[in-house]
């Protein structure tokens, strides 16, 4: 279902700093704009509560996940809160295996081809290229030439509506969007405007 969601809209919302009391309103404007995957990093305030609220608020075709997942114990807590996707800044095999054993979708962070192949061998669904600022479109193109056909690379870090084109031309089929989409303190209206700009750019480039 994760790959199908990204085929519909390859933009992943990363809501670092989201508070539970604003989760429902922010989630609703993102879903209305077309987002199908929403992630709450675990270094946000009360992240598991925000995940619970998003899961209970949004339709089933919107996947809810957690980011900055660092331990197998956190994987279990994410699942208990209703989360469906595990997103990591790294590629720790213990966490990868815990996520797969829990039946959750998995997006580990990778920065080298060695890490990419190892993560795929552990069952990664998509690969988070992090930080994207250090790995431009030339790296994407080189990786895709050797990775298994159909591998989805999702750059994260510094992605704007204006710089998506060069990555898409290189073969990218998804992006993780952080502070360019949401920052703590933004109103739902501000997030909605950012979301619409990203989705418009995505549709025009695809």
Helices (H) and strands (E) in the chain, counts: 9, 9
Are 64 and 83 spatial neighbours (Cβ–Cβ below 8 Å)?
A: yes
User: Is 141 a catalytic site residue?
Assistant: no
State whether residue 4 is helix, strand or coil: helix
Q: Active-site residue among 3, 28, 94, 128?
A: 128
Q: Among residues 3, 22, 28, 39, which one is catalytic?
A: 39
Instruction: Dihedral sign for Cα 163, 166, 169, 170, please.
Output: negative
pLDDT (tens, 9 = 90+) of the chain, 206 residues, equals: 898 899 889 999 999 999 999 999 999 999 999 999 999 999 999 999 999 999 999 999 999 999 999 999 999 999 999 999 999 999 999 999 999 999 999 999 999 999 999 999 999 999 999 888 888 899 999 999 999 999 999 999 999 999 999 999 999 999 999 999 999 999 999 999 999 999 999 999 87
- pLDDT of amino acid 133: 85
* SS3 category, 104: coil
- Known catalytic residue: 39? yes
> Full-prediction pTM beyond 0.75?
yes
């Amino acid at each position: 279902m994760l790959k199908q969601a990204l085929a519909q809209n390859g933009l992943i919302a990363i809501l670092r700093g989201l508070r539970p009391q604003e989760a429902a309103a922010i989630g609703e404007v993102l879903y209305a704009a077309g987002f199908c995957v929403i992630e709450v990093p675990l270094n946000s305030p009360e992240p598991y509560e925000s995940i619970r609220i998003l899961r209970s608020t949004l339709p089933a075709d919107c996947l809810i996940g957690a980011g900055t997942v660092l331990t197998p114990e956190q994987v279990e807590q994410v699942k208990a809160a209703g989360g469906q996707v595990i997103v990591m800044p790294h590629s720790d095999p213990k966490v990868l295996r815990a996520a797969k054993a829990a039946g959750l979708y998995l997006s580990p962070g990778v920065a080298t081809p060695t890490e990419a192949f190892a993560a795929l061998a552990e069952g990664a669904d998509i690969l988070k290229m992090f930080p994207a600022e250090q790995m431009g479109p030339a790296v994407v193109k080189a990786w895709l030439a050797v990775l298994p056909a159909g591998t989805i690379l999702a750059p994260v870090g510094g992605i704007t509506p204006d710089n998506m084109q060069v990555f898409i031309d290189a073969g990218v089929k998804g992006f993780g969007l952080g502070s360019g989409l949401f920052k703590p303190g933004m109103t739902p209206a501000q997030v909605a405007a950012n979301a619409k700009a990203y989705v418009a750019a995505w549709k025009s480039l695809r």
